Every structure is written in C-alpha cells, then in structure tokens.
C-alpha cells in the first residue's frame, strides 16, 4: 500500500465551499479501483490549508487509474478551482508505524 500526500492551499474565504464540494468529490475517488481510504484535515495554524491523505494499492492505481478516469475529470471540475497555487502531490511507503496502545 502507498499513501498519497497533498497539501491543498485553498483560496481564502472559500474554505466552506471547498469542504462542501469535497463531500461530493470524495465519492468519485472512493469508486476508483485500488482506492483504500482517505482523510482530509484542516490546518489549525493556516485554516486555508488542508492535508489530503489517500491510501492506494499502488502508485499506478492513482496516477494511471484514477487520474485517467472520467471520475477524475469530475473531481477536477469540482475542486481544482479552489487551489492557489496548485498542490504538489507525492506518494509514500510506510517504513514504521506505532498503533495507539490506548485504543
């Protein structure tokens, strides 16, 4: 499994509109083969910045599968207008993890 990481710089004063658009957009990505889950978090110190983490079976599932799909075209139409500048997307593999011992 790999994790996609993107810091999303949303244009100021459009945060709530972005979050509403994301509610629909997340169903598009979730329908993509190889998708395993996502989280979207809002930055405390910079409320116009969001952290998107998406788990995929492989980089190809994201780069070729989702980004080559009709779902991605809808995703792009819903979300890309909010970004300034456009986010950088990177992929990571887990090398260490700690599970909450209190859970």
- Condensed to tens digits (0 to 9), the pLDDT of residues 43-73 reads 999 999 999 999 999 999 999 999 999 999 9
pLDDT band at 75 (very low <50, low <70, confident <90, very high): very high
Domain regions of the chain by residue span: 2-92
CATH 3.30.70.100 fits 2-92, yes or no: yes
Q: What is residue 103's predicted lDDT score, i.e. its pLDDT?
A: 75
pLDDT band at 98 (very low <50, low <70, confident <90, very high): very high
Which of 38, 5, 41, 25 lies closest to 77 in space, CA to CA?
A: 25
Tell me whether strands 49-56 and 35-42 are parallel, antiparallel or unpaired: antiparallel
pLDDT band at 101 (very low <50, low <70, confident <90, very high): confident
Q: Where are the alpha helices (DSSP H) in 1-103?
A: 15-30, 59-60, 70-79
Q: Is the pLDDT of residue 102 over 90?
A: no
Distance (Å, rounded) from C-alpha 50 to C-alpha 52?
6
């Amino acid at each position: 499994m790999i994790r996609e990481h993107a810091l999303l710089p949303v244009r100021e004063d459009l945060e709530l509109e972005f979050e509403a658009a994301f509610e629909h957009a997340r169903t598009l990505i979730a329908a993509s083969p190889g998708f395993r889950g996502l989280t979207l978090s809002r930055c405390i110190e910079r409320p116009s910045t969001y952290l998107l983490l998406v788990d995929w079976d492989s980089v190809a599932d994201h780069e070729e599968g989702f980004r080559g799909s009709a779902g991605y075209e809808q995703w792009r139409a819903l979300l890309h207008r909010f970004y300034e500048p456009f986010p950088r997307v990177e992929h990571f593999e887990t090398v260490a993890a700690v599970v909450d011992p209190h859970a």
